[in-house]
Amino acid sequence: MEFLTFLQISDTAVRFAIPLLFACLAGLFSERAGIFDIGLEGKMLAAAFFSAAIAALTGNVWIGLLAGIGASMVLSLIHGLASITFRGNQLISGVAINFLAAGLTVLIAQDWFQQGGRTPSLSDFGPNARFNSIELPFAIGPTEAKAAGQPLSDLIGEAAWYNQVYSELISGHSILVYIGFLTVPLTWYILFRTRFGLRLRAVGENPAAVDTAGVSVIGLRYAAVAICGILCGMAGAYLATALQAGFVKDMSSGRGFIALAALIFAKWRPWYALWACLLFGFLQALAIRIDVVERVLNFFVSNVMGLDFDVDSPGQLLDALPYILTVVILAGFVGKAIPPRAGGEPYVKER
């Protein structure tokens, strides 16, 4: 595989990994505080719709982002009321949120825009209606390609390898991609280097001890659920206003469940979560570059195995790989992952 082709696939993998990363870190905060959240998918979907809808109505993607975060936080509050205040089953509450979001987004979209449950393309509402790519200084971009009279890929291909990495892989992403990567060390710092993070992790392990120390268990769990809502809102907004230019029905496509699998795979640790999400993103990127996979497989079969036949297109298998890996991880075949001890259990204060 050519180096530039590998960089292009990696660039796509980064774009696909960002919504998974936001959702994975959202689940990390929630589950570290003892609140299991199956509703990541529904929060992402609601945020995707409201961010795209408000961005289309106002022509301002930042207002759309705030709307998406607000919608996600409303669902987080509902989940918090059901599982913290009323001590309901956290898994059932999360599933209910998924169904609620799947139905309401299509219903409201049809009522507002009459386009079959989708929003209009944000490209029709001006350059400020969606998040655009940011060209970093000294990177080879469309401006340089236009000045040179060459296709951008050809111009990058003629550059040195380090310039290819910088121009193709690091530069050219929307601001939410860079925020997503910065969120990883920020999450690590909050959870493992602050008093709030220590208390949050303690609530997920032994809430009675935290309560005995005079710290509000309910307050900490609501704080974790609120952070989860913010991050899920950013994940959904990224899907509808950066990765794509509008909302379509069920556009989250199971990413909330893949994020949960990545969280388990990462054993509830932020840096491991980053690599797990990048792995899932890379599998999704391979699914849209079937030609490259075919070339690699045919090279392996003919030159390494010494066989004389062509490998058929593995397109359907590649499409299914992220979901197959999700099932494998959730089934526990990649090693035992021990969740927070008080996870999924409502806290009842002793009298």
Handedness of CA 331, 99, 131, 224 (dihedral sign): negative
* Residues 130, 245 contacting (CB under 8 angstroms): yes
Is 55 part of any domain? Answer: yes
Each residue's pLDDT tens digit, 231-243: 999 999 999 999 9
| Stretch among 165-174, 257-266, 278-287, 326-335 having the lowest mean pLDDT | 326-335
- For position 111, what pLDDT does the model report? 93
- For position 315, what pLDDT does the model report? 64
Find tokens 């792995």 and name the residue. Answer: 279
Average pLDDT of the chain is 88
| Stretch among 41-50, 72-81, 195-204, 332-341 having the lowest mean pLDDT | 332-341
pTM: 0.93
Is 160 part of any domain? Answer: no
- DSSP 8-state assignment for residue 123: G
What band does 348 get if pLDDT is binned at 50, 70 and 90? confident
What band does 294 get if pLDDT is binned at 50, 70 and 90? low
Range of the domain at 94: 3-131+174-330
Dist. CA 146–CA 150, nearest whole Å: 7
- For position 271, what pLDDT does the model report? 95
- The strand pairing partners of 173, in sequence order, are 134
User: Which of these, 71, 48, 65, lies nearest to 229 by C-alpha position?
Assistant: 71
| 229 compared with 313, residue with greater pLDDT | 229
pLDDT at 136 over 80: yes
Mean pLDDT (whole number) for 165-176: 92
Mean pLDDT (whole number) for 137-144: 81
Is 101 part of any domain? Answer: yes
- For position 334, what pLDDT does the model report? 62
Burial readout 297-334 (b: 16 or more C-beta within 10 A, e: otherwise): eeeeeeeeeeeeeebeebeeebbebbbebbeebeeeee
| Stretch among 71-75, 117-121, 158-162, 206-210 having the lowest mean pLDDT | 158-162
Handedness of CA 322, 79, 26, 191 (dihedral sign): negative
| 189 compared with 336, residue with greater pLDDT | 189
Dist. CA 89–CA 198, nearest whole Å: 25
What band does 300 get if pLDDT is binned at 50, 70 and 90? low
- For position 85, what pLDDT does the model report? 92
- For position 1, what pLDDT does the model report? 46
* Residues 246, 118 contacting (CB under 8 angstroms): yes
| Stretch among 54-63, 204-213, 261-270, 285-294 having the lowest mean pLDDT | 285-294
Is 197 part of any domain? Answer: yes
Is 153 part of any domain? Answer: no
- For position 328, what pLDDT does the model report? 76
Question: How many other CB atoms are there within 10 angstroms of residue 238's CB atom?
Answer: 30
What band does 108 get if pLDDT is binned at 50, 70 and 90? very high
pLDDT at 4 over 90: no
Is 335 part of any domain? Answer: no
- 110 Cβ contact list (under 8 Å, min separation 6): 116, 117
- DSSP 8-state assignment for residue 84: I
Is 149 part of any domain? Answer: no
What domain count does the chain have? 1
Mean pLDDT (whole number) for 72-86: 95
What band does 301 get if pLDDT is binned at 50, 70 and 90? low
Is 116 part of any domain? Answer: yes
- Residue 278: CATH number of its domain: 1.10.3470
